[in-house]
Amino acid sequence: MIQRNHSDDRLLQQYLDRSMSPEELDSFEARLCHEPELAERLITFASDDLVLAEWGASLEREQQQAVSAVSTTHPVSGQIFNRANRTVVVSGMASIFSVFLLLGGYLLFQSVLSSPRVNTQERVVFSSGEPVENHIKQTLNEGSAELHFPTGAKVLISAPASYEVTGNNSMHLQQGSFIANVPSSGIGFQVDTPHGRVIDLGTLFSVQTVEKLDTRVQVYRGKVIASLMNRAGGVQSSKQLSEHQSATINSTKNEIEEADDSLSLAEKCGILHLSDSVVLQESMPDALATGKYQVFEHDGLAFVFPERTQVSLKSDLELVTQPAETRSKKRAGVITAGTNVDCYRIYYDPAQKEGAYIPVLGEIHFDRPILGVILDRKVLTQTDRLFHPLCRNDSNRLFIHQGTETDTGGKDPKARYDEVKISPDRRTLSFMLLSGERFVDEFRVIVRSPQ
């Protein structure tokens, strides 16, 4: 008979409640990585609807307390035990007074209705609003699909892929790749693969798996727990991954191999450095700037996507070579025909509510000269035939862009504009983009191709 360690249960609740001291946090996270049983217990806690609801309520209280400058802590365990005690008291009273039973039932019903628990009646849907049936294998042969979970988690899956939704906050990825954006309300989001399991602790991360090989996990923000599962479905070993870390769940070697950050991708793209507010993605979704996908909605975080490389210009290309200048004659420039260039898309789509604007400051350092940028939305559309990946086979495809509005002079002096700068050595791009919930800032960066 297995004895439950109630001391560990309290630690798990404190960990989810974020009530540990920095020293306790470091010690406990070290245990998670070396004690499979404890990691499996965390998976159970993080997947439990009641714990998630109580944790969500705790986080909401913390935000309210920060505003009112009150710093009182309410452990999750106390809330659960208090609720149980109330149930016992109400039951005892009900044995004497049936009226109190009815009243207690009514009040309990009202309490449940008003609590911030996950609404289990909601269903997982595609970005179009079409519902996704649980435990039905889905196959994606081309393009991409975005799933919206009732908990707030959003997952963008890229073809070719096969997957199935297994619950309101979980899925199984048989083969393919995805990127997931999980807010605090979706903490505990679980993805299973043929080789392991990933439990999210509120983050932005990606998973790529090949059915007969391995599973690769990469964390851009926050933390996840990657676990190697045994044949019985239990946790064999676990490893916690934090921001800028990646690992491979290797079922052949029966181990989790920690890897360096995505330096190989950055080096492949000719990028020497990215600021913390910029995330490099390997590929770009089909309909990135149409508002169709929400997984890239993230306050204070910009994305850079490689669009096309080694494009040989058949005619001169007009663009902005000095974006910090306000006079058009000094801003404009031309890349001559015959030049080979690489193109990157910068994309910023904050998730703030309507009426709120939040900036992002970013910097990208290339190993090759930056020839210029394309900011205007009309010019973005005109240059899709050259640089948009989906225009390779159909140059007449039309995409709608929103562009980036910088100060070009002659406009409202009180207005706030986006800022884009290229360093004097033409190797560093810096920007300040200001956008809101209903808007997107995007522009192209044209860099000389390597010889």
What is the SS3 assignment for the chain? Answer: CCCCCHHHHHHHHHHHHCCCCHHHHHHHHHHHHHCHHHHHHHHHHHHCHHHHHHHHHHHHHHHHHHHHCCCCCCCHHHHHHHHHHHHHHHHHHHCCCHHHHHHHHHHHHHHHHHCCCCCCCCCCEECCCCECCECCCEEECCCEEEEECCCCCEEEEEEEEEEEEEECCEEEEEEEEEEEECCHHHCCCEEECCCEEEEECCCEEEEEECCCCEEEEEEEECEEEEEEECCCCCEEEEEEEECCCEEEEECCCCEEEEECCCHHHHHHCCEEEECCCEEECCCCCCCHHHCCCCCCECCCCEEEEEEEEEEECCCCEEEECCCCCCCHHHHEEEECCCCEEEEEEEEEECCCCCCCEEEEEEEEEECCCEEEEECCHHHHHHCHHHHCHHHCCCCCCCCCCCCCCECCCCCCCCCCCEEEEECCCCCEEEEEEEEECCCCEEEEEEEECCC
Nearest to 122 by CA among 152, 86, 83: 152
Residue 10, C-beta contacts closer than 8 angstroms, at least 6 positions apart: 75, 77
Report domain 125-259's class: mainly beta
> What is the Cα–Cα distance from 389 to 143, expressed in whole angstroms?
12
Q: Give the per-residue pLDDT at 101.
A: 37
Q: End-to-end distance of the chain based on CA atoms, in angstroms?
A: 67
- Do 112 and 49 form a contact (C-beta atoms < 8 A)? no
- To which residue do tokens 């039932």 refer? 105
User: What whole-number distance in Å separates Cα of residue 220 and Cα of residue 367?
Assistant: 22
Predicted pLDDT at 8: 79
Burial of 241 (C-beta count, 10 Å sphere; 0-12/13-18/19+): buried
Residue 239 CA to its chain's centroid (Å): 20
Which structure tokens are listed for 143?
């393009």
Nearest alpha carbon to residue 14 among 4, 29, 30: 29
**Largest separation between any pair of C-alpha atoms in the chain:** 91
* CA 5 – CA 45 distance, rounded (Å): 14
Q: Which residues contact 194 (CB under 8 A, 6 or more apart)?
A: 174, 209, 211, 212, 215, 251
What does the pLDDT read at residue 106? 39
pLDDT at 260: 59
Supply the pLDDT for residue 444.
96
The pLDDT tens digits along the chain (451 residues) read 334 566 777 887 777 666 778 778 777 776 776 676 776 677 666 545 444 444 455 544 544 554 444 334 334 334 333 434 433 333 443 443 343 333 344 334 444 333 344 444 488 999 888 999 999 999 999 888 889 999 989 998 988 899 999 999 999 999 999 989 888 888 899 999 998 999 998 778 888 887 667 898 988 888 899 999 888 888 888 888 888 788 999 888 889 988 755 456 777 888 999 998 888 887 776 656 445 556 677 778 898 999 999 999 999 999 999 999 988 888 999 999 999 999 999 999 887 555 667 889 999 999 999 999 999 999 999 999 999 988 888 878 888 788 888 877 766 666 678 999 999 999 999 999 988 767 789 999 999 999 8
Nearest Cα residue to 406 out of 381, 433, 428: 433
Global confidence as pTM: 0.60
